[in-house]
């Protein structure tokens, strides 16, 4: 893309680029209502006696070509169930990404284990396998691979690192429904894949989650982990808990909505893909702005669109860029979560619990742990994505971002 005679941006008195309201699909409708009605008519809302959660699990397994799906009450619950099922115990170390939702990390602390943060790849923003490898110790039991913004981590490299040392790879797919790795559905490469059905994800039932695995034994433990370690299989002593579990069950109401939503997933991902790929094409080569780069091997599912500014080329930082793009009527925000997770007080002040000594107290957390992640947060600008976005949204968004980048770089870039 060239910058010949860019029009004036809105912050310099020009007209706004975005003149039509962004398109948005109706999220919940007749399909969800029909499923809900059937759930109510069952006269049970309990997963084990109803049909909706079972149907959801069967449909997700078949969609992913995986042996087992266990529904859970959230994405956080999914990751916690994975760690419980794997037997993660006090003092163990679990490697995780520093740019993520707390839901990736809370379960590690609840297991009494120590979160170890690995740095990110500068271009893709996903976990850097070299940093993961460097942070493994003889206490490392699992890696939680966070597939950020619908883009997969380098799963070949992470699998190689983990299998060599018998470390479990858990995929956090909360932001990556529908993404693929070398053609395989996301979540099916590692030992367990974890999904979120919260309100903001590709598909939703308000709150909920799912875990997938091909491992029969792990599947049994995953179910127990979500249901107080009560074994509801026929012919098994039910109340005989062998390990500490939680109540992370999904109700039939949520299962019904999720089932209707699952049928829409393919279309949702396809529309997000074509819109974001077209935006990438239109913004390619823009001065001072890097478009999102999928990890080679990944077909991303675009939960949001993460740009990175190069301040010395743009002549502006992420805040100035985001303010100028917002002035065009385009909804962007700088810095995503603001600081890496390890700078939150729960880490820097070890304030997870009031009393006692948790193993993570011996670990120092604070600025400098993951320099590339800190740089990414400083320079990133996020554009929200919706499957209802139109061709007009695409052209206006591209024109607005282009106008701003060209104007800023002509003004002060080098
Ligand atoms: C990467 C990631 N992991 C885990 C979670 C937790 O999911 P939930 O909110 O369903 O607990 C989220 C939610 O935003 C997330 O984005």
> Is the pLDDT assigned to residue 98 strictly greater than 90?
yes
Asked if residue 375 and residue 284 are part of one domain, the reply reads yes
Which of 376, 344, 378, 370 has its CA nearest to residue 106? Answer: 344
Which tens digits make up the pLDDT trace of 109-155? Answer: 999 999 999 999 999 999 999 999 999 999 999 999 999 999 999 99
Looking at residue 107, the DSSP 8-state letter turns out to be H
Of the pLDDT bands very low, low, confident and very high (cuts 50, 70, 90), residue 1 is low
pLDDT score recorded for residue 65: 98
Decide which of 264, 294, 328 is a domain's last residue. 264
Average pLDDT over residues 40-50: 98
CATH of the domain at 222: 3.40.640.10
Q: 54 an active-site residue? A: no
Q: What's the DSSP call for residue 311? A: H
- Give the tens place of pLDDT for each residue, 285-319: 999 999 999 999 999 999 999 999 999 999 999 99
178-189 pLDDT tens trace = 999 999 999 999
Q: How many domains does the chain have?
A: 2
From 219, 238, 264, the end of a domain falls on 264
Instruction: Give yes or no: residues 324 and 334 share one domain.
Output: yes
Helix (H, G, I), strand (E, B) or coil at 140: strand
- Whether residues 203 and 91 share a domain: the answer is yes
Residues of the domain holding 186 = 30-264
Residue whose Cα lies nearest atom 4 of ligand 1: it is 103
Burial of 409 (0-12, 13-18, 19+ CB in 10 A): buried
Q: Pick from 223, 240, 264: which residue ends a domain?
A: 264
pLDDT value, residue 90: 98
Residue 309 has, within 13 A of its CA and on its CB side, a CA count of 33
Q: Is the pLDDT of residue 240 over 90?
A: no
Instruction: Provide the CA 245 distance to its chain's centre, in angstroms.
Output: 24
Distance 198 CA to ligand 1 centre (A): 8
Q: Does 153 share its domain with 225?
A: yes
Whether residues 125 and 224 fall in one domain: yes
Q: Would you say residue 177 has pLDDT above 70?
A: yes
Query: Based on the domain organization, do 274 and 200 belong to the same domain?
Result: no
Q: Is 248 helix (H, G, I), strand (E, B) or coil?
A: coil
pLDDT, mean over the chain: 97
Backbone angles phi and psi of 246, in degrees to 5: -130, 175
pLDDT in tens, 8-26: 999 999 999 999 999 999 9
4 falls within a domain: no
SS3 111: coil
Whether 386 and 278 share a structural domain: yes
pLDDT given for residue 413 in this prediction? 57
Ligand 1 pocket, Cβ-based, cut-off 6 angstroms: 74-76, 100-101, 103-104, 146, 172, 174-175, 196, 198, 209
The atom number, within ligand 1, closest to the CA of 209 reads 10
CA of 104 relative to ligand 1 center, distance in Å:
7
- Is 295 a member of any domain? yes
**CB distance 377 to 108 below 8 Å:** no
What's the predicted TM-score (pTM) here?
A: 0.97
Q: Based on the fold, state whether residues 205 and 332 are members of the same structural domain.
A: no
């Amino acid at each position: 893309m060239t910058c010949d005679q860019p029009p004036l941006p809105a912050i310099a008195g020009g007209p706004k680029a975005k003149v039509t309201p962004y398109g948005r699909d109706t999220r919940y409708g007749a399909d969800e209502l029909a499923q809900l009605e059937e759930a109510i008519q069952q006269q049970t809302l309990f997963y084990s006696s109803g049909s909706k959660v079972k149907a959801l699990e069967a449909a997700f397994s078949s969609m992913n070509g995986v042996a087992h799906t266990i529904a859970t009450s959230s994405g956080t619950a999914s990751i916690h169930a994975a760690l419980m099922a794997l037997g993660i115990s006090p003092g163990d170390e679990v490697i995780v990404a520093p740019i993520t939702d707390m839901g990736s990390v809370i379960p590690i602390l609840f297991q009494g284990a120590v979160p170890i943060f690995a740095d990110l790849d500068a271009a893709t923003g996903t976990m850097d396998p070299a940093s993961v490898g460097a942070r493994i110790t003889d206490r490392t039991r699992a890696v939680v691979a966070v597939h950020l913004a619908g883009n997969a981590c380098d799963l070949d490299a992470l699998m190689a690192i983990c299998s060599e040392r018998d470390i479990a790879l858990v995929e956090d797919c909360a932001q990556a429904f529908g993404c693929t790795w070398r053609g395989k559905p996301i979540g099916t490469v590692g030992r367990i894949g974890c999904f979120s059905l919260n309100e903001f994800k590709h598909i939703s039932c308000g709150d909920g989650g799912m875990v997938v695995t091909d491992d029969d034994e792990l599947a049994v433990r995953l179910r127990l982990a979500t249901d107080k370690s009560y074994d509801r299989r026929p012919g098994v002593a039910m109340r005989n808990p062998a390990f500490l579990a939680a109540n992370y069950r999904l109700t039939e109401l949520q299962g019904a909505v999720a089932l209707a939503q699952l049928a829409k997933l393919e279309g949702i991902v396809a529309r997000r893909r074509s819109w974001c790929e077209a935006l990438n094409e239109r913004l390619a080569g823009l001065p001072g702005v890097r478009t999102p780069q999928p990890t080679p091997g990944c077909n991303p599912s675009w939960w949001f669109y993460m740009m990175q500014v190069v301040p010395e080329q743009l002549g502006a930082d992420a805040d100035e860029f985001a303010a100028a793009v917002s002035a065009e009527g385009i909804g962007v925000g700088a810095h995503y979560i603001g600081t890496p997770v390890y700078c939150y007080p729960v880490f820097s002040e070890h304030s997870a619990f009031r009393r006692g000594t948790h193993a993570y107290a011996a670990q120092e957390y604070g600025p400098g742990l993951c320099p590339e992640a800190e740089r990414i947060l400083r320079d990133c600008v996020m554009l929200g994505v919706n499957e209802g976005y139109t061709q007009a949204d695409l052209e206006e968004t591209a024109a607005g971002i282009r106008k701003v980048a060209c104007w800023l770089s002509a003004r002060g870039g080098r």
